[in-house]
Amino acid sequence: MFTKHKWQLAAALILGLLTAGVACAVDLQELVKESQQVRNADQKLEMVWWIPQEFWETSFNGNPNVSAESKAQILGVLQDYQIVAVVYVKTSVAGFTEIASEPDILANVKFESGGKVIDAVPADKISTGAQSILGAIKPLMTGMLGQLGQNMHFVVYPNRDGTRRLVDPVQAGAFQVSLYDQVFDWRLPLASLLPRKMDPKTHEEFPGNFNFNPYTGGKLGGK
């Protein structure tokens, strides 16, 4: 049976393909842990992986296997979207008994930010380039996760409302994704995208989304 750890391992393998030999300021595995949530209970396995633009930017950052021109083209295609990868299956001791289809997923997933529902981008409005990129990723997921990867569905949402980002992973905020009757919540900013902070008195380090030392209450500063 797949667990949260195995999902994160699979995601890390994808990162390895994207970023082989790359030293990044952002820890991509930590970014995956923060942006991906898995629930395995009540004979159901549900996975929601929110993939913001920062994921793609970091994945390609400094990768010698991707030219600057290709990187700019890919990021230019993806900058209009935030993508949510979703899996929903029912399980038993014998294995999977039911796997939600893409139409079922689209009918039962909801993205909310600031109390407002963000509608998914209709398939015929998604750019050809974005569809091609997601289509290229799907075989990787299938190869690593088998039937689960084959039935992972990408739901595409807009990234901006005019010049304003609908969800900014480095700014304070929150959003949620509902999948059937399960709600997955995120609090922002994501620590993996921020520099770590230090308590100037105790010299302890904490994640970048901490403002105070949780043990002493002391205010944290930059390293």
Q: For 66-140, where are the E strands, in sequence order?
A: 81-92, 95-99, 109-113, 116-118
Tokens in use for 38? 């898995």
pTM, 2 dp: 0.82
pLDDT higher than threshold 90 for residue 97: no
Q: Per-residue confidence at 188, pLDDT binned at 50, 70, 90?
A: very high
> Rounded distance, CA 41 to CA 15, Å?
27
Is the pLDDT assigned to residue 145 strictly greater than 70? no
Q: Would the pLDDT of 220 be above 80?
A: yes
Location of structure tokens 């929150």: 174
Q: What is the pLDDT of residue 62?
A: 60
